[in-house]
Amino acid sequence: MTESPSSRRLARVLLWTTLSILALACLVALLVWLTRPGPAFLQGQIEADSVRVAAKIGGRVASIEVQEGDRVDTGDLLATLFMPEVEARAGQVQAQVDAAGAMADMARLGAREEQIRAARAQWQAAVSQAELAAETRTRIERLHTDGVVPTQRRDEAVARAKSAQAQADAAREAYDMARSGVRPEELRAAEAQLRQAQRGLSEAQSTLSEAQQFAPVSGEVTTRVAEPGEVVGPGFPLLVITRTDRPWVTLNLREDLMPGIRLGHRFSGRLPALGMRSVEFEVHYIAPMADFATWRSSRDLGGFDLRTFEVRARPVEAVPDLRPGMSVLVDERSIKAEG
């Protein structure tokens, strides 16, 4: 049986309608796929510890031994300061130590043998003078009794005899002191003065050692603050060393992204500066940030504020060419999926 023209037209309309619906469905599906939300990335930044190298006292910068970008190791000479006042003070304290040491030695050793013999000779001479003065006094008193000499002369002889005896006693005490040496109290005082001078010398030498500044840590010189010829004060930084061997990434996360994140948690991040290289990190620090970083909700029913936490994580393995300031991209979905 032959189809009528109206039937053929109806079939064509149904065909085109079906094709149109399929095309429209494909177009809608394509638009939905193209407009789907992409993966949300959290952006962090590589950071590292920095150490400011400074002297405890001021002075004029004599030389800076390194340039920005140089790699230094612990103990390397970085800078030298010119401090003539400190050098002069150290010389004065050294002289005080020498003098105190000599006095302590004299106190320990006591008088020399020559000094002892001289003291004995002076004592014996004083004894002879006292004996002569006593005999003279006796004769003058007899003559005074006989009325031969006046009373004035007798009084003078008595005074000379007493004075000679006092000098003999003093000479004997000096001789005894020379033989026995110094008293224990004097020896302790001399040794205490020596210790005090030695401590002063140690302090002066410690201050003088600040004239040369050595690298306290290994790292890279990132900033030269002072230049040769400048006068710097105590504590003024000369250089800044960045510890590039211990970098970390810092992420600022809202607390609704924190579930599952804990100390020791591991996640992966990509570094655009290294060709989107994937690096595994391990969390070692979590702390809330200040209130200014708190995400404020709208005051709708059921809304609440979200705190922001600072999360730091170190690379699990050393990454060549990783430097502070590089960006790190972390997939928001994967940071919770890994652990």
- Residues with Cβ < 8 Å from 229, sequence gap 6 or more? 60, 61
- Name the token pair of 125: 């001479």
**Whether 264 and 327 share a structural domain:** yes
Give Cα 149 to chain centroid, integer Å.
90
Q: What's the pLDDT band for 301 if we cut at 50, 70, 90?
A: very low
In sequence order, the β-bridge partners of residue 266 are 282
**Whether 190 and 278 share a structural domain:** no
Written as one letter, the residue type at 303 is G
Helix/strand/coil for 285 = strand
**Whether 168 and 199 share a structural domain:** yes
> Beta 277-288 vs 308-315: how paired, if at all?
antiparallel
pLDDT at 203: 80
Most confident of 26-40, 61-75, 151-165, 183-197: 61-75
**Whether 98 and 201 share a structural domain:** yes
Least confident of 130-139, 204-213, 329-338: 329-338
Q: By residue range, what is the domain housing residue 198?
A: 89-206
- Residues with Cβ < 8 Å from 165, sequence gap 6 or more? 130, 133, 134
Residue 236 and residue 50 in contact, taking contact as beta carbons nearer than 8 Å: no
- Name the token pair of 90: 């150290």
Q: What's the pLDDT band for 4 if we cut at 50, 70, 90?
A: low
CATH, residue 216: 2.40.50.100
Tell me: the pLDDT tens digits for 82-121?
Answer: 887 777 777 787 887 787 777 776 666 655 666 667 777 7
**Whether 132 and 194 share a structural domain:** yes
77-82, strands of its sheet edge to edge: 212-214, 77-82, 59-64, 231-232
**Whether 66 and 215 share a structural domain:** yes
Of 212, 243, 228, 207, which Cα lies nearest the Cα of 52?
243
Residue 54 and residue 238 in contact, taking contact as beta carbons nearer than 8 Å: yes
Q: What's the pLDDT band for 327 if we cut at 50, 70, 90?
A: very high
CA–CA separation, 74 and 76 (whole Å) = 6
**Whether 257 and 319 share a structural domain:** yes
Instruction: Select from 242, 266, 300 the last residue of a domain.
Output: 242
CA–CA separation, 75 and 111 (whole Å) = 50
Please state the pTM of the whole predicted model. 0.58
